[in-house]
Amino acid sequence: MNPLRNLFNRFVWDKNFPSEKIEIRYISRGAPNNYESLLGTDVIKVFSRGFEYKTSDGKRKYIPFHRVILIKNKVSGEILYRSVKS
> Which tens digit of pLDDT belongs to each residue from 59-80?
999 999 999 999 999 999 999 9
Instruction: Give CA separation, 13 vs 27, 31, 37, 56, 76, in Å.
Output: 25, 30, 20, 21, 22
CATH of domain 3-82: 2.30.30
pLDDT digits (tens, 9 = 90+) for 33-64: 999 999 999 999 999 999 999 999 999 999 99
Residue 2 has pLDDT above 90, yes or no: no
Q: For residues 43 and 54, give the distance between their C-alpha atoms in angstroms, rounded to a whole number.
A: 7
What's the pTM?
0.92
Q: For residues 63 and 86, give the distance between their C-alpha atoms in angstroms, rounded to a whole number.
A: 16
Domain boundaries, the chain: 3-82
Q: For residues 68 and 24, give the distance between their C-alpha atoms in angstroms, rounded to a whole number.
A: 7
